[in-house]
Each structure stands twice: as C-alpha cells, then as structure tokens.
Amino acid sequence: MPRVRFPHPLTLLVGCVLIAAALTWILPSGEYQRREDSETGRSVVVAGTYTEVEPSPVGPFQAIVAIPKGIADAASVIGLVFLIGGAFTVIERTGTLARLASSLAQRLSGRGILVIPVASLAFSVGGMTMQMQEELIAFVPMLLLLTRQLGFNPVTAVAMSLGAAAVGAAFSPVNPFQVIIAQKVAELPPASGLGFRLVFLLAALGLWILGTMWYARRTSRLPEAAAPTQGRDAGWRDSGILLSVLGAFALYIYGAQKLGWEFDQLSALFVVVGVLAGLLGRLGLAGTADAFVEGFKSIALAALLIGFARAIYVVLNEGKIIDTIVHGLFTPIAGLPATLSALGMIIVHAAIHVPVPSTSSQAVLTLPLLVPLSDLIGLSRQVTVLAYQYGAGLCEMVTPTNGALMAMLAAAGVRYEEWIKFVAPLVGLLVLLAMLAVIIAVQIGLS
C-alpha cells in the first residue's frame, strides 16, 4: 500500500484558500441578519432571516490577497507565537531546558511512560479552563527534549500537550470560549449540566491518555543521551527561570478572567520572561537579543501558518458564502426525529468548523439558528449545546484550517499525515463517545 503524503503545510493551506475561492463561484451568496447580544457582547445571527444577496465571487488574485489579510487579521496570535518562540530560545540557550529535561528523565528512568498521563492532565486543565492552543507552542522545546530522552517521538509530544488540551476543551463544562458562550447564546445558566459533562470529560481524557500511552509504547526507541550541560544539575537560576514562565501563565490566566486580557498581554509577559531568563542565565543583553532573533527565525513558519489558515475564512467571508454553508448544512436535519437531529448536529458542527475555525465565532453563528429549531422539535437546549461543543471541539484536532494545530505540528517537526495517522482512530472513538453522551442526554432530558 503506497504511503499517503500530504503536501507541505504552506502548499496545503494555499490549496485550501484557492478551493475556498472556487466555492464562492459555485455557491450562492447569502446572509443572515445580525443583532448585538448583550449577554455575549457579540453580534449574533437572527433565525429565519437568511436571504440570498448579490454574488461576490473571489477571483484568483483576490484569493492571494486574502493571505496577507489573513496574516493581518491574526496579527495578535502571530505576534504571540513569535515572542513565545523568542523567549523560549533564550531559555534554551541558558541550558535550563536541557538540565530540567535531563533531571526529569533521570527521575523517570524505567518509568518514562508516566510522563504521558501527568503531562496530559496538566495540559488538559489549560484546555478546560482557557482553551489553550497557540500558547502551548511555548512548551515544544521542553517537550521535545524530554520525549527524546525518554525514547518517544515528536507525535507523542504533540499528543500529550495540544491533543490533551483539545480533548479537555471539547468536553469541558467550564470552557469560557466554547461551552459558556454557547450556553449564554442558548439562554442557559453558565456551567449548567456540569455533572453530566464531567462524567464524559473523565471518560474522554482516559481514552486519550490510554491511546497516547499505547502509541508511545509501540513507537518507542532507545532514549537519546542527554546533551552535556553546564552545571549538570538544575540550580537556583534554572528554578528562577522556570518560576518566571509559570508565573507568566498564572498572571495571564488571572488577567484573562478578571481584567479582560488577551494575546497582546500574554505576548508582553513573554518579552519580560525572555529578558529575565537572559539576565539570570548570564547571556547579557546582546546575547539575549541574539537569542530572540534566532527564536523568531525558528518559529517563523509556525507563526505564518496561522495567518495562512485565517486566509481561508477571509475568502469565504468576502465571498459571502459562510452563512450559505451554515444554512445549507442545518436545513436537512430540521425534519429528523429529536435524537437523530442531535446526532446530525454533531456531524454538521464538525463540517462547519472547517470553514469557521473559531469555536466562539461558530457558537454565535449557529446557536441562534439551532435553539429555535430545538424548541420546535422538542430537543433540550442543553443537548443542542452539547452537540455544538463535541462537533466543533473534536474537529479542532484534525482540520488543517486550525492554524494553531498546523503551527504546533510545524514547531514540533511533525508532518500532517503523521498526525492524522495517529489521531484519526482516537478521534473516531471520541466521536462515538460524544454520540453516546448526546443519546443519553436526549433520553434523560438533560436541561
């Protein structure tokens, strides 16, 4: 059987941009009316207002122009990735990452597999509480050093970080950018259905961790010898650098929840972390600046992939076919029985997440349409939110339009087809688990 090999990520995303442009010539342009929603602070669609509008096809050159527009649109995320990459290159040059990875690998000698459940649970908390994705690129250097010394490949590093975070986000009862915003749109109490979601969250994480451990054992090889480091054991300088990184994330979580902080503030924190690490690591200002520049170079592809992925949405939006796609996909499930309609919503949400890779944007686009439909067919609004949550959330792990996924794979040196080969069976099982959850929710009348 010939080995499937996907094109280079840039080629793949440019191809997706051109396909999106072609669709603007094939599908009719259409729009829903929108209103400002005081609960979410966002513009939401008004159900029953879809109308076709004057066609707005995107030509070949206009499609290419969408690429710099996508980069500009994702500027804050791209800036974050560049500055995180720079800061962690500074930390890497101090030798801190190598010493910490070597120390941890020695402590786990013969029990390296245990790093997978520990790391997966830690990163899943980031996914559950903050839907962390782009931020996880910061941990790639450390994860690669650690997994190599334990004999695991880079796919395992991505699986126990971004993969675990994505599972946590998809099944989370408190993710503010997914389930909470969807519940606000559906006029449900925030964090309602918490107990039900927790049961399936634990099941999903257990499934993901076991699948990752099985893969790691099957693909493990002889551990790489640790590279020589100055001062073999981690010292107080390394502890100070590590605490600065953890402190930056803790401060950002507080700021995001209490002060309305976004990616710009996290980027600023990592500028401070990088400078502090350089001074603690005795690199000096010139050495720290050189390390930042080297980091920018090494992370450039990963950062730009986010902008290229965003260009796909830019094309579809300029062609005015996003609402057409949503209208066309959800209309057929309106006449189905309640349980089948709920299962259909999972599939349709996954399909919609390809052209609309933001979970919060998808919530305000689709839930105002689905809530009246759910009321009409006797389907609980909570079940409708579940279907959105599982469908959109699980799609995050496979779609190339998710810029964070493509950037993480690029930073870790993992080809897209390698990731798909690993993740496809696990995502299939998670989809079955999600469908089981929705069926049970329908039967018990979860509200």
pLDDT attached to residue 40: 67
Q: Tell which wins on pLDDT, 226 or 404.
A: 404
Q: Tokens for 174? A: 């408190």
156 Cβ contact list (under 8 Å, min separation 6)? 116, 147, 212, 215, 216, 219
Task: Give the pLDDT confidence score for residue 101 in this predicted structure.
Answer: 74
State the Cα–Cα distance between residues 397 and 419, nearest whole angstrom.
9
d(CA 285, CA 301): 26
Residue appearing with tokens 């980031």: 126
Torsion sign (Cα): 36, 375, 176, 70: negative
Cα–Cα distances in angstroms (integers) from residue 244 to residues 86, 278, 282, 433, in the given order: 15, 12, 16, 39
- In the predicted structure, residue 343 carries a pLDDT above the cut 60: yes
**DSSP alpha helix (H) spans, 94-153:** 96-107, 115-130, 140-150
Residues pairing with 37 in the sheet: 42
The sign of the torsion formed by the CA atoms of 233, 238, 243, 245 equals: negative
Q: Are 351 and 56 in contact (CB under 8 A)?
A: no
Structure token digits, residue 178:
């997914």
Q: How confident is the model at residue 96, as a pLDDT?
A: 81
DSSP, residue by residue, 32-86: --EEEETTTTEEEE-TT--EE----PPPHHHHHHHHHHHHHHTHHHHHHHHHHHH
Whose tokens are 């009246």? That residue is: 372
Query: Domain segments of the chain: what residues?
Result: 17-45+60-444
Whether residue 240 is predicted with pLDDT greater than 90 in this model: the reply is no
Beta bridge partners of 297: none
Token digits of residue 195: 């107990």
pLDDT at 233: 58
Reported confidence tier of residue 420, pLDDT bands at 50, 70, 90: very high
What pLDDT does 224 receive? 60
DSSP state of 223: P
The dihedral of CA 94, 95, 99, 100: what is its sign? Answer: positive
Stretch 109-119: mean pLDDT:
83
User: How far apart (Å, rounded) are the C-alpha atoms in residues 19 and 146?
Assistant: 39
At residue 259 the predicted structure's pLDDT band, cuts being 50, 70 and 90, is: confident
Q: Which helix (H) or strand (E) holds 193?
A: none
pTM attached to this predicted model: 0.86
Helix/strand/coil (H/E/C) assignment for every residue in 319-343: CCCHHHHHHHHHHHHHHCCHHHHHH
Return all residues near 81 (Cβ < 8 A) that are at least 6 apart. 134, 137, 299, 302, 303, 306, 407
- Quote the pLDDT of residue 430: 97
Question: According to the model, what pLDDT value does residue 239 have?
Answer: 83
**Coil, strand or helix at 125:** helix
Please state which of the ranges 8-22, 212-226, 393-407, 413-427 shows the lowest mean pLDDT: 212-226
Give the CA-trace dihedral at 115, 117, 119, 123, to 10 degrees: 170
73: left (phi over 0), alpha (psi -120 to 50) or beta: alpha
pLDDT bucket at 225, cuts 50 / 70 / 90: low
Is the pLDDT reported for residue 227 higher than 60? no
CA distance 81 to 407: 9
Q: Which residue from 29, 32, 31 is spatially nearest to 47, judged by alpha carbons?
A: 32
Looking at residue 1, what is its pLDDT?
Answer: 42
Q: Give the separation between CA 435 and CA 345, rounded to whole angstroms.
A: 10
Instruction: Scan for tokens 């939006």, then name that residue.
Output: 317
The answer to whether the beta carbons of residues 364 and 342 sit under 8 Å apart is no
Q: Is the pLDDT of residue 229 over 60?
A: no
Q: What is the residue whose two structure tokens read 């191809």?
A: 15
Q: Could you tell me which residue, 142 or 20, shows the higher pLDDT?
A: 20
Average pLDDT of the residues in 176-188: 88
> How confident is the model at residue 4, as a pLDDT?
65
Average pLDDT, the chain: 88
- 234 vs 217: CA distance, rounded Å: 29
Q: What average pLDDT does range 102-114 have in this prediction? A: 75
